[in-house]
Each structure stands twice: as structure tokens, then as C-alpha cells.
């Protein structure tokens, strides 16, 4: 058995254990230097948090455990192909590689269908299902100007 299979089996085990706890059937682990540094499972219904997907929970735990928001050098093993939110979080965290077991079609087949989000992102703003309107841009730019001038900022 390869070490990649071992890590994936742990992600799958997290997904199965989470079902027993009342959560969704998704689990993830983050690995650095050949060791698991964090685990996560879907806590959307448990925490009443729509962002508490397994990958996001694992990223939060890894950042805390490693005391760093930059997870370069890490890989994520997830029981299912990441949804658009999780995929974005993985990119923001700068994780080096994604390993997954189930596909987004497998998830769709059991009621977890993210295809509408993939479709929405492709649309022009004015054609999206949720109305989106710009407001007070000039005032909003003040924070950006402050950030731009800040000398001791932590870039990310």
C-alpha cells in the first residue's frame, strides 16, 4: 500500500466517521512532509455553518496547527472532488496538490449537486441568479488605499 493510499483511506474514514456524528459524508486530511498535520470533516449541519465543508475545516485546522496561513508544501486528500468553494480555499491556502476519491458526479448522484455554482460563475454579473450590485466604491477604496500605504503589512 502506498502512503498516498494510506492518507486517502484516512480521509475516507473521516467521512464515514462523520456520518455517525450527524455530519455530511465528506472528509479530508492535509499532509506535510509525509505526516498528517490536520483532518477535517463536513460540519455544515452540525455547526449550522454553510462554509464548514471538510476541506475548509482541514485547512482551518492545518493553518492553526502549523501557525501559518500559507500551506505551501502541503497536499490535501479529500474523500470527494472539491466543490467550487473548497477548490478556491485550496488555492488561497497555496496547497501543492489535491488527491480525491469520489467525483463531483458521484456527489451529485446522492444529492450534493454543485453544478449550478459552476454555471453561475461563468455568467456575467447581471445574469446571475443572486442579484449583485456595486455600491459606494469610492468609499470602499479607502481601505484599499490604507492597505497599499501600510508599510508593515503581511502580504498574502
The CATH superfamily label for domain 4-149 reads Cytidine Deaminase, domain 2 (3.40.140.10)
How many angstroms separate the CA atoms of 59 and 55, rounded?
6
pLDDT at 156: 84
pLDDT at 1: 72
Q: Which residues are catalytic?
A: 55
What residue ranges do the domains of the chain occupy?
Answer: 4-149
Ranges of the chain whose pLDDT falls below 50: none
DSSP for 28-76 reads: EEEEETTEEEEEEE--HHHHT-TT--HHHHHHHHHHHHHT-S--TTEEE
Dihedral Cα 147, 151, 154, 156, nearest 10 deg: 60
Taking only the tens place, the pLDDT of each residue in 93-130 is: 999 999 999 999 999 999 999 999 999 999 999 999 99
Amino acid at each position: 500500500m502506498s502512503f498516498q493510499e494510506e492518507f486517502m483511506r484516512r480521509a475516507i474514514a473521516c467521512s464515514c466517521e462523520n456520518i455517525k456524528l450527524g455530519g455530511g459524508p465528506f472528509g479530508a486530511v492535509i499532509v506535510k512532509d509525509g505526516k498528517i498535520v490536520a483532518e477535517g470533516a463536513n460540519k455544515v449541519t452540525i455547526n449550522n455553518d454553510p462554509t464548514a465543508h471538510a476541506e475548509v475545516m482541514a485547512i482551518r485546522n492545518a493553518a492553526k496547527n502549523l501557525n501559518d496561513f500559507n500551506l505551501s508544501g502541503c497536499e490535501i486528500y479529500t474523500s470527494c472532488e472539491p466543490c467550487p468553494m473548497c477548490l478556491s480555499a485550496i488555492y488561497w491556502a497555496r496547497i501543492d496538490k489535491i488527491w480525491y476519491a469520489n467525483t463531483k458526479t458521484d456527489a451529485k448522484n446522492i444529492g450534493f449537486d454543485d453544478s449550478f455554482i459552476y454555471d453561475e460563475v461563468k455568467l456575467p454579473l447581471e445574469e446571475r441568479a443572486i442579484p449583485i450590485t456595486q455600491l459606494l466604491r469610492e468609499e470602499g477604496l479607502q481601505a484599499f488605499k490604507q492597505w497599499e500605504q501600510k508599510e508593515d503589512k503581511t502580504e498574502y
